[in-house]
A and B are shown apart, each in its own frame.
Chain A
Amino acid sequence: MKTFRRTLSLFAIGYCLLAISLTGCGHKTLEAGGAYAPAITNVDGTLTATAAPDYALLALDSSYDLAYETALTACRFEQRNRVLLRQLSPGIKKQMDQVRAEVWKLDGQWAVARKAYLAQPVAANLDPIRRILAEMQRWNAVATSLIPQENTP
C-alpha cells in the first residue's frame, strides 16, 4: 500500500512537471495535418496549415487526461479495498466520497470549458482549463494522502 501511495505521489509530481510545459518550456513541433495542427492537402500533395499549431491545448489535454486517470485510479483502489482500508482508517470512505464528488464536479467544468475553447479557440478560453487542472491536481494530492501507509495504526 505504501508503494501504491508512493507511485501515485510520483504521478502527482510527474504532472506538476507537465504543468510547467504549459508555460512554454519543452515546446515541441506538431506535425502538420494532426488534430492540433490542422492543414489541408494541396493537389501536389503538400500541406498548407489552416490554423496555427495549438500546442497549448495539446499540453492541457495531455496533462488533464493524466490527472483525471490518476484520480480514478485512487478512487478505484479505495473502492476495491474498502474493507481493508476501513480497518486502517475508518473515515476513509467518507473522505474519498468527498474526493469523488469534487472530481465529478471538476470534470463537468472541464468538459464545458474545453467545449467552449474548441468553439472559440482564443487564449483567454484556456484559462478556465488551466484553473480546473490545478484544482484536479489538488484533489489528487488529497486522495493520495488519504491512502494509509502500511505502518498506520
Chain B
Amino acid sequence: MTEFALILAGVNAVLTAAPDVVAVAEKVKQTINRLFTAGVISADEQNRLHAHCDDHMNARLRGEKPPELEIEPD
C-alpha cells in the first residue's frame, strides 16, 4: 500500500469508527449517570437495562454470535 493510500485508509478508519465511538460514549454517559449522578434510578430505566441484559443473556445462551466476534479465515 502506498503512503497516500495509507493516509486515505487512515482517514476512512477514523470516519468509520466515529459512529461506534459516539455510541459507546453515549453508553458511558448513561452508565455514569445511572450509577453516580442520578438520585433515584427510575423503574423505567431499571426495566430497560434489565430487559437489554436479559436479551443479551438469552441470545448468548442460544449461541448467537455477533459478527464482530466471528473469526474469519486469513
Chain A interface residues toward B at CB < 8 A: 1, 3-4, 7-8, 11, 14-15, 17-18, 21, 26, 28-37, 58-59, 61-66, 68-70, 72-73, 75-77, 79-81, 83-85, 87, 93-94, 97, 100-101, 103-104, 107-108, 110-112, 114-115, 150
A75 touches which one: B12, B17, B69 (CB < 8 A)? Answer: B69
Q: 23 pairs across A/B with beta carbons < 8 Å?
A: A21-B36, A28-B34, A28-B38, A30-B46, A31-B40, A34-B43, A34-B46, A35-B43, A35-B49, A35-B51, A36-B46, A58-B41, A58-B46, A62-B49, A73-B20, A75-B69, A79-B67, A81-B12, A81-B17, A84-B13, A100-B69, A107-B60, A114-B53
B28 touches which one: A14, A33, A94 (CB < 8 A)? Answer: A14
Q: A9: shortest Cβ distance to chain B, in Å?
A: 12
Q: Count contacts on B: residues with CB < 8 A to the other chain.
A: 50
Q: Would you give the 0/1 interface string for B26-42, flagging 1 where the beta carbon is closer than 8 Å to chain A?
A: 01100110111011111
In B42-64, which residues have CB < 8 Å from any A CB? 42-47, 49-53, 56-58, 60-61
Q: Is A83 touching B24 in the complex (CB atoms < 8 A)?
A: no
